[in-house]
A and B are shown apart, each in its own frame.
Chain A
Amino acid sequence: MVAYIVRRVIGAVLLLAITTMVTFGIFFLVPRLAGQTTDQIAAQYVGRDPSPEEITLTKRRLGLDDPLVVQYGRFVKGLVAGTDYSYGPNTEFCPPPCFGYSFKYQRAVWPDLVDRFPVTLSLAVGAAAIWLVAGVAIGVLSALRKGTVFDRAAMITALAGVSLPIFFTGLLTLAFIRPEGVVFVPFTENPPAWAGNLLLPWVTLAFLFAAGYARLTRATMLETVGEDYIRTARAKGLPERTVIGKHALRATMTPTLTMFGLDLGLLLGGAVLTESTYSLPGLGKYAVDAIRQNDLPQILGVTTLAAFFIVVANLVVDLLYAVVDPRVRLG
């Protein structure tokens, strides 16, 4: 077990290193490959219509003419140890974890990310809870009532669910259920208002995923109830509730968990769309606004954070795997 955990943690750290490289590469290598000059890159760090002096100054301050390896080193150093940013007359120390400094708004990126994190976290956790419970429950019921009206209706709804874009269902709920829109109320301030406002975004986001989990659970369940050990459990005279709830359901946990690990990335993408649809001030909305403003440090910061989150969450999923399926620990 310990060896398994150590192996996974080392893998996660390696992945983090690669991730920062890829993220960094997107923003500093791709534009160069596409033929952008360092002047044009520097222009993205300052306000609209910058003067040539401003650009030269920014270029020197950011060291954009340095080799990419050096720039990457600086980026990592900022994340780990913090770094100094000079804007105009002053120099500001950006403490670790320094996710960059937006020259357009003259503010560090990290505090903004921290501000917006609760919104995205609330959205993601609530939606994930709803879709896991609903998806697995519908899948199990469908499998137990295979071929009935309920099964057919559930599977048709599931197919419709994966075909509906979040931003469409979101706008529909806004147009026909809650025309006044939703606002984010922090959980610590007023839990009922928090849940009441987030209910529609949760359901919208969860609907898309619940469909996939219902289909998966149904398929696994149908396979499992044909297994010998289920017949043995029934032959022992165990009540059906125990056979399904304890023996069969356990087998559907592993594929569900695998899918959940794979879906975390999609969940963040879904959060971007949901936040844009409902105008919720979360990390996804922040990323979209940053891209519209072409504010490179903000985009780089939020993508790096998202990548970090995914790596850590996948590590947690891997460790949960070992708890759910003992074979994993030995393998």
Chain B
Amino acid sequence: MTAPLDVSGTESSARPEAVLQGAGRQAIEGRSLGQIAWARLRRDKVAITGGVVIVLLIVVAVLAPVITNVVGGPPDKFNEELIDPTFSSPKGSGIFAGVSWEHPLGVEPVNGRDVFSRILYGARISLLIGFLATLVSVVLGVFFGVVAGYFGGWVDTLISRIMDVFLAFPLLLFAIALVGVVPDEAFGLSGNGLRLAVLVFIIGFFSWPYIGRIIRGQTLSLREREFVDAARSLGARSPYILFRELLPNLVAPIIVYSTLLIPTNILFEAALSFLGVGIERPTATWGKMLEQAVPFYSVAPLFVVVPGLAIFITVLAFNLLGDGLRDALDPRGTR
């Protein structure tokens, strides 16, 4: 014997017409995954801050020649008159030695080049290599990840083992060795053009397994879904399923993990520059500025702080945006 349904509660007092009226005033919208994600992301103040910083950085990097015309001057101009000849450090005392209206972030030890201009021009290298290298890793990672996850069997075993080996190895050591063995002229390129291409390729090549593993995992679960069966039963071939059915469903993880890979690659480039195997002099890079700062850390600490903070702020901004994107696009993700 069941108790009679209590229909006198407050919930039922709302008439069906009222519900319909409410719906009528505010039309029901179908929202795409992208719109939902954007709505979530917009509420995430921290991620938005990261995104704003990134946009500012890109603008500043692109406009570097214009900005340095107003403040700082050309990045390679020597200002030896600002350098104390005995200590090779900027003239003046205290941590802000060398800072002036013309040189808002001070000047380099030894030759007195303007730090502010070099930071702006360094942003170009960092961002360029960060983005291009990530593009290389994403292309490689997505390709091998999808292939491994979709085909399975020995293909998967082989690719997975290669990814494991890659992830376990001291990549930085191999990368500096590789940059070292590439001759000054090769593949029809020379000078900094070649250096840039080599760095982009090496950094991208060593980072692809990070994204490859994630894409493989996602593909493994997507492969079992009904729409793949449906496509196959309609006669679709593997390439079609891979690129037209699976790839669009992988856009969210690709966006998230590319955003998180960019800062890793920027750090990688800075590390290579710091170790002296990056872009060659006199082009400014943040890593190389820190390398130059090593002998002067006690007499010119500002020259350590400024490029270091530039790297830190850039990398942190990408990490914050990437974390926010992950939460917005993939709510079941690691958190």
* Contact B168 A175, beta carbon cutoff 8 Å: no
Q: Provide the bound-state CA to CA distance between A269 and B182, in Å.
A: 20
B293 touches A171 (CB 8 A): yes
- Separation of A262 and B275 alpha carbons in the complex (Å): 23
| Contact assessment for B168 and A261 in the assembled complex, using a CB-CB cutoff below 8 Å | yes
Chain B neighbourhood of A277, CB < 8 A: 294
Which B residues are CB-close (under 8 A) to A269? 170-173, 271
Chain B, interface size category, equals: 35 or more
B305 A265 Cβ-Cβ under 8 A: no
CB distance from A146 to the nearest CB of B (A): 11
By beta carbon, the residue of chain B nearest A176 is: B301
Q: How many A-B residue pairs have CB under 8 A?
A: 144
Q: Which residues of the other chain, B, contact A306 by a CB distance below 8 angstroms? A: 170, 173
Q: Is A30's CB within 8 Å of the partner chain B?
A: yes
Q: CA separation between A277 and B304, bound complex, in Å?
A: 12
Q: Please judge, given known A-B contacts A179-B298, A310-B169, whether A36 and B183 are in contact too, CB under 8 Å.
A: yes
- The answer to whether A179 touches B297, judged by C-beta atoms less than 8 angstroms apart, is yes
Interface of A is mostly: helix
The interface residues of chain A lying within 8 Å CB-to-CB of B287 are: 167
The complex places the Cα of A284 from the Cα of B176 at a distance, in Å, of 11
Interface residues on A, range: 35 or more
Residues of A within 8 A of B311 (CB): 165, 168
* Alpha-carbon gap, A34 to B197, bound state (A): 13
Which one of A93-101, A108-116, A156-164, A235-243 is at the B interface?
A: A156-164
List of 4 A-B pairs having minimum Cβ-Cβ separation, nearest first:
A269-B172, A168-B308, A268-B170, A34-B186
Apart from A165-B274, A167-B270, A261-B168, list 18 A-B contacts with CB within 8 A: A34-B181, A35-B186, A159-B323, A160-B312, A164-B315, A165-B312, A167-B274, A168-B290, A172-B304, A174-B297, A262-B167, A268-B170, A273-B271, A273-B275, A277-B294, A288-B176, A292-B276, A307-B170
Some 15 contacts from A to B, beta carbons below 8 A apart, are A18-B165, A26-B178, A27-B177, A27-B181, A34-B186, A35-B187, A40-B183, A167-B274, A167-B290, A168-B312, A175-B301, A219-B335, A268-B172, A272-B176, A292-B276
Interface residues of A (CB under 8 A from B): 15, 18-19, 23, 26-27, 30-31, 34-36, 40, 159-160, 162-165, 167-168, 171-172, 174-176, 179, 219, 261-262, 264-266, 268-269, 272-273, 276-277, 284, 287-288, 291-292, 294, 296, 299, 302-303, 306-307, 310, 314
